[in-house]
């Protein structure tokens, strides 16, 4: 057969082939920090093996994920901004919310440390140092969980970054990875999440300056099937029960990046505290 | 996502990002990674389908606007020409809102499927095909009008003749449309969602790897995409010279 004929046959097959499978997979909308950490690539095959549920993941910032949930374009949301999660469920957009796991936020910056932040400084002082220095600070600026956590830290420090840092405070409006790339290229300080940072490959001169600025709690929400009839409630509940159950929690705890375990299952933490 | 085996042993560390990009492109091609092949296949399937549908709409539309002169025709031409500059993210957003479960076509459950991506790219490519076709056929119509009128050819026959005689120019129009579709990331990212194994195409994979900080792998994927586009264009040229 001549190559041209092969090409046309290929083209015809492409167009005729059915575009998608008949039954719908469960759709999980989650945050860019979770996606950057690689956790789901580790968990989802286990879910498929155990529950025979296939899951499609969609990745946006927490604010955008909640909007996807309001529109009913995902079945399950895995996000990290407790206040907006609770109000999401209270407004009836979600059936219920369960806490899944925690990691923490960290402060990273250039290894030359132009703002002279001492090691193991507390976060409030460190942010004040940055505000006083001439260094750049990069913010997600996208209403994501990480962005809101960062804003809480500025509030704790009593600083309004837009006013104090002015043009040294850069809001990227992008995902975690894009923001880290910018921080790396500009030698800037930024707040990021421990899991995404552990997995990030383009660090340049960036180093961790504060290992734990605040806790980062992830909650899981089932989008309310009463508002959207097409929501896959049964499989959604099965998945939520698995990930908040012993097996899922153990799997989360055992996920390692470069020898570190960035996530801790919520129910296992509580048991330890008892 | 990809398991990269670098055939050129551990010298990878000595190279800068650009050099590593070419090395990872080479190793991606050599290893024929199945993930890569399925992503490449989806890219071609989505973009070629979109171009195919756009041609079915755009060629007759262009011929119609070239052949008929009516009040408002100029206005339509201006609109069609400006639609060539439609930003992909805007198209993505509009298609998202139409296909969202809360939107008018939500019941079909098409969001985050390859079909949604084909719809978005079709909207992007059709104006390009339509507008360029109109321009080419209008120029040709100046040469042909006396001849076709003397033959008393019907309107349909006249338009068909114009399309047929311009076929080699129209092949270039088709390639311009294909170039737009295969290189576009904004629309497919929004309506496809970049879901692994389902709606991940070359451009969204490149964006993803860049966001992970895997710059050399991202560049490697970019080079593979470029080579693919080159092959498609070369094939088109081959067909053209053969039948010209």
Q: What is the pLDDT of residues B207-216, one digit of tens each?
A: 988 887 888 8
Q: Is residue B8 part of a domain?
A: no
Q: Domain containing B61: what range? A: 20-243
Q: Is A13 on the interface with B (CB under 8 A)?
A: no
* ipTM entry: 0.71
Give me the residues of B, 135-174, that contact A with CB < 8 A. none
> How many beta carbons lie within 10 A of that of residue B72, not counting itself?
8
Distance, CA of B125 to chain centre: 6
| 8 Å CB contact between A169 and A137 | yes
Q: Is residue B12 part of a domain?
A: no
**pLDDT > 70 in chain B, percent:** 93
Q: What is the pLDDT of residue A238?
A: 96
Q: Is residue B11 part of a domain?
A: no
For residue B196, pLDDT beyond 90: no
For A104-215, which CATH class? alpha beta
Q: Where are the CATH 3.40.190.10 domain residues in chain A?
A: 19-103+217-273, 104-215
Q: Is B240 on the interface with A (CB under 8 A)?
A: no
Q: Is residue B15 part of a domain?
A: no
Q: Which residue of B has its CA nearest to A174?
A: B211
CATH of the domain at B150: 1.10.3720.10
State how far the alpha carbon of A204 is from the alpha carbons of A85, A106, A172, B16, B101, in Å.
Answer: 35, 17, 18, 12, 42
Q: Is residue B185 part of a domain?
A: yes
For A19-103+217-273, which CATH class? alpha beta
**Three-state DSSP class for residue B127:** helix
Q: What is the mean pLDDT of chain B?
A: 88
The one-digit pLDDT tens for each residue of chain A (274 residues) are 666 677 677 767 666 665 544 578 999 999 988 988 899 999 999 999 999 999 999 998 898 999 999 999 999 999 999 999 999 999 999 999 999 999 999 999 999 999 999 877 899 999 999 999 999 999 998 888 999 999 999 999 999 999 999 889 999 888 888 899 889 888 999 999 998 899 888 888 899 999 999 999 999 999 999 999 999 999 999 999 999 999 999 999 999 998 889 999 998 876 655 4
Backbone angles phi, psi at A223, to 5 degrees: -65, 135
For residue B240, pLDDT beyond 60: yes
Give me the residues of A, 177-196, that contact B with CB < 8 A. 177-178, 180-181, 184
> C-alpha angle with apex B25: B23 to B26, nearest 5 degrees?
65
Work out how many domains chain B is built from and give that number.
1
In a mutagenesis test of the B interface, which of A31, A58, A64, A205 is the best target, namely the one with the most B β-carbons within 10 Å? A58
Per-residue pLDDT tens over the stretch B117-172: 999 999 999 999 999 999 999 999 988 988 888 888 888 899 999 999 999 999 99
Q: Is residue B3 part of a domain?
A: no
């Amino acid at each position: 057969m001549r190559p041209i004929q092969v090409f046309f046959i290929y083209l015809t097959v492409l167009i005729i082939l059915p575009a998608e499978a008949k039954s719908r997979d469960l759709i999980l909308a989650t945050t860019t920090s979770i996606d950057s950490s690689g956790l789901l690539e580790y968990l989802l095959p286990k879910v498929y093996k155990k529950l025979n549920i296939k899951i499609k993941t969609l990745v946006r910032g927490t604010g955008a994920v909640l909007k996807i949930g309001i529109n009913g374009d995902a079945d399950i949301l895995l996000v990290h901004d407790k206040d907006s999660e609770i109000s999401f469920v209270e407004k009836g957009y979600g059936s219920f919310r369960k806490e899944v796991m925690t990691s923490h936020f960290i402060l990273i910056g250039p290894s030359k440390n132009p703002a002279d932040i001492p090691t193991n400084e507390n976060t409030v002082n460190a942010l004040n140092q940055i505000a006083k220095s001439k260094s750049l600070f990069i913010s997600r600026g996208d209403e994501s969980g990480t962005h809101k956590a960062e804003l809480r830290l500025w509030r704790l420090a009593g600083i309004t970054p837009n006013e104090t840092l002015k043009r040294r405070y850069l809001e990227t409006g992008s995902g975690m990875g894009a923001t880290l790339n910018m921080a790396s290229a500009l030698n800037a300080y930024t707040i990021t999440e421990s899991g995404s940072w552990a997995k990030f490959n383009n660090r340049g001169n960036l180093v961790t300056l504060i290992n734990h600025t605040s806790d980062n709690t992830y909650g899981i929400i089932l989008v309310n099937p009463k508002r959207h009839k097409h929501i896959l409630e049964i499989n959604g509940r099965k998945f939520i029960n698995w990930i908040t159950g012993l097996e899922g929690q153990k799997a989360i705890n055992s996920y390692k990046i470069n020898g570190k375990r960035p996530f801790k299952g919520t129910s296992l933490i509580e048991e330890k505290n008892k | 996502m990809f398991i990269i085996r670098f055939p050129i042993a551990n010298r990878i560390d000595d190279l800068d990002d650009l050099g590593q990009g070419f090395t990872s492109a080479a190793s991606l091609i050599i290893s024929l990674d199945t993930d890569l092949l399925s992503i490449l296949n989806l890219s071609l399937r989505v973009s070629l389908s979109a171009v195919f549908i756009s041609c079915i709409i755009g060629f007759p539309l262009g011929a119609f606007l070239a052949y008929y002169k009516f009040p408002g025709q100029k206005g339509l031409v201006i609109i069609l020409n400006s639609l060539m500059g439609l930003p992909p993210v805007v198209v993505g957003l509009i298609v998202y809102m139409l296909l969202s479960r809360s939107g008018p076509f939500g019941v079909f459950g098409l969001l985050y499927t390859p079909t949604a991506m084909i719809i978005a790219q079709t909207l992007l490519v059709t104006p390009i095909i339509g507008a360029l076709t109109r321009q080419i056929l209008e120029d040709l119509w100046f040469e042909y009008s006396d001849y076709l009128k003397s033959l008393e050819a019907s309107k349909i026959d006249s338009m068909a003749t114009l399309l047929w005689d311009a076929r080699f120019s129209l092949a270039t129009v088709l390639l311009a449309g294909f170039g737009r579709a295969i290189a576009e990331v904004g629309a497919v990212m929004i309506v496809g969602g970049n879901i692994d194994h389902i709606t991940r195409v070359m451009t969204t994979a490149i964006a993803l790897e860049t966001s992970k900080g895997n710059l050399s792998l991202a560049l490697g994927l970019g080079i593979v995409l470029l080579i693919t586009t080159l092959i498609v264009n070369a094939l088109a040229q081959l067909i053209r010279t053969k039948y010209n």
